[in-house]
Amino acid sequence: MSFDGIMTRAITHELNETLTKGKITKIYQPFPTELIFVIRSKGTTHKLLLSANASYPRVHITQHQHENPKVPPMLCMLLRKHLEGGVIDGIEQPGMERMILFNIASRNEIGDITHKRLIIEIMGRHSNISLVDAETNLIVDCVKHIPPSQNRHRTLLPGSPYVFPPSQEKINPLETDEETFLRKLDFNSGKIDRQIVQQFEGIAPLVSNEIIHRSELGNRKSLAGSFTELMEKVKNHEYTPQMVITDRKEYFSVIQLSHLKGMTSTFDDVSTLLDRFYFGKAERDRVKQQASDLERFLRNELKKNEQKIPKLKSTLSNSEKAETYKLYGELITANIYQLERGMNKAEVPNYYDENASMITIPLDTQKTPSENAQHYFKKYNKLKNSIQHVHKQLEETNQEIRYLESLLQQLESASASDVEEIREELEEGKYLKKRKNVQKRKKNEKPSIERYRSSTDVDIWVGKNNKQNDYLTNKFANAYDIWLHTKDIPGSHVVIRDREPDETTLKEAANIAAYFSKAKQSSSVPVDYTHIKHVKKPSGAKPGFVTYDHQKTIHVTPDENLVYRLRQRN
């Protein structure tokens, strides 16, 4: 990833052209470090995402839907007070810093025009969003409070003067000619890519490697030419927004990344690129933090059940000796007149063998022959009775493993609300203790299921957890809707609202089913599909578990780009 100064310059330019003179109509705070501004500009409504997320800080226009808390946080209320109804006068970037400044004019309680600055710092775990009074330069509030005890040089608290992050004393690459560029590099020291990053402001290693790749190795003039040519395009806002997926990682840039080998996607604008690149990433990161205890619990339970399987199979293997014990008991009884107490073994003919071969039976010296026979009969009856019980336990344990695996798979693609539904399911199933002082979901409140739209405009519905799966399959869908699920692989229930969908819709729905399954990273994933009327939920079955027949199978390779596009069509 590379949200460097060049990316910041590109998105600032784009937002300036799109949002300047736009009116802020609504402000939401779906998560503690993320804000959504609804802005009406040039006859179009845009949703601007501002994120100070430690792992995924960013600023761009988004098309995604975000779940907002029922009660707005205090910061959200304050921003609404100061900025709703305000007009964006301009958007700027200081130098090539990873900072974006929104200049906003709005009216206060008595109707006077006031000027505020919304400052976004895109700096990894130090990212922040601050609302500053432009006239006094005092902080009204910010997403992350930084007290003097944490940073004595730069306090970020309400009422404190806003101080810009310390300058790194680097050279602005847009104001650098070839001679200056070469003078700042020490070719004898090597590691030219690192030197470029260290000397010039706003250039990330990804861009530095691209500069070197475009030049001839060891040719200084060619290197300088590559640098100035690339910076000239940045200066003139000539961008090529693209994402490259390699075997190891995903990359994005507004510069063509010719040095990377992988699947390349080009986008019409920077916001679309960023919206696509961060699709699901920040959500998964948040869910991972919120559901870490849940995931740990499920993995421990899964491990316990997996360890039971060998023990049960061992017991089942021992139960196969039951017939041998029965034979011992019968042969001792048949030859009881030949045996006496104190014997440690009995060598008797096996009447059940055609050749009547001799067989040696171990005896307990403390028991009479009759007691030895009864001992073997008891062992036979005990093992015989245990076979049915062990088979039942094996089936229940395997079902439990499948259930726990399905929950772990659901956590991988869950939203915050999905996690809460999974937690509620585990509480209802007595896996977890019910939490106190937690607002309960209304009794008749329906689970929220996601809708996608196929390329041929057919609705495709997806359940992201067992509550949603049960509701989608057993209540929401009609008898002749098409139901899809990965074959013998934990995954989501998917429903097409069409009894005879076209081939494109069927393949796209199968792709969604494969994407929201344990086989997400696999290729040629088998997906079964059938009409809803052929899908049944057995009495007493685990949540989300169904049986089905009359199915056909289609093989697809999960494609995140396709899933993203179908979601955007909704």
pLDDT tens sequence across 542-564: 899 999 999 999 999 999 889 98
Residue 283 confidence (pLDDT) above 90: no
pLDDT: is 248 or 206 the higher one? Answer: 206
Residue 1 confidence (pLDDT) above 60: no
According to DSSP, the residues that pair with 252 across neighbouring strands are 243
Instruction: Tell me the pLDDT tens digit for each residue of 155-203.
Output: 999 999 999 998 888 999 999 988 888 888 888 787 888 999 999 999 9
pLDDT at residue number 231: 93
pLDDT: is 2 or 373 the higher one? Answer: 373
- Residue 329 phi, psi dihedral angles, 5° rounding: -60, -45
- Amino acid sitting at position 422: I
Residue 326 confidence (pLDDT) above 60: yes
> Band of the pLDDT at 434, cuts 50, 70, 90?
confident
pTM of the model: 0.71
Residues in CB range of 476: below 8 A, 6 or more apart: 449, 461, 495
pLDDT at residue number 269: 93
pLDDT at residue number 536: 95
The three-state secondary structure class of 78 is helix
- Residue 153 phi, psi dihedral angles, 5° rounding: -85, -20
Q: What is the mean pLDDT of residues 85-112?
A: 93
pLDDT at residue number 79: 95
Q: Burial of 192 by CB count in 10 Å (0-12 exposed, 13-18 middle, 19+ buried)?
A: buried
Residue 558: name the closest of 245, 345, 173 by CA: 245
> Band of the pLDDT at 454, cuts 50, 70, 90?
very high
Q: Supply 281's token pair.
A: 């990433």
Q: Supply 92's token pair.
A: 């700027």
Instruction: Tell me the pLDDT tens digit for each residue of 79-89.
Output: 999 999 999 99
Domains of the chain, with CATH numbers?
Answer: 5-142 (2.30.310.10), 173-285 (1.10.8.50), 294-409 (1.10.287), 450-568 (no CATH)
pLDDT at residue number 74: 95
- Average pLDDT over all residues of the chain: 89
HEC string of 433-498 equals CCCCCCCCCCCCCCCCCEEEECCCCCEEEECCCHHHHHHHHHHHCCCCCEEEEECCCCECCEEECC
| 224 in Cβ contact with 182 (< 8 Å) | yes
Instruction: Tell me the pLDDT tens digit for each residue of 372-383.
Output: 999 999 988 887
Residue 342 confidence (pLDDT) above 80: yes
* pLDDT cut 70: percent of the chain above it: 97
The H or E element that residue 411 is part of is helix 369-412
pLDDT at residue number 184: 87
The contacts found for 112-120 with CB under 8 angstroms, 24 or more apart, are 114/82, 115/89, 116/82, 116/83, 116/86, 116/140, 117/162, 118/50, 118/83, 119/162, 120/50, 120/52, 120/59
pLDDT at residue number 214: 87
pLDDT at residue number 190: 79
pLDDT at residue number 350: 86
Most confident of 17-31, 141-155, 331-345: 17-31
Residue pointed to by tokens 């916001």: 271
Most confident of 158-162, 221-225, 318-322: 158-162
Residue 94 confidence (pLDDT) above 60: yes
Most confident of 186-190, 210-214, 244-248: 210-214
Instruction: Tell me the pLDDT tens digit for each residue of 62-74.
Output: 988 887 888 999 9
User: 245-259, 319-333, 549-563: lowest mean pLDDT where?
Assistant: 319-333
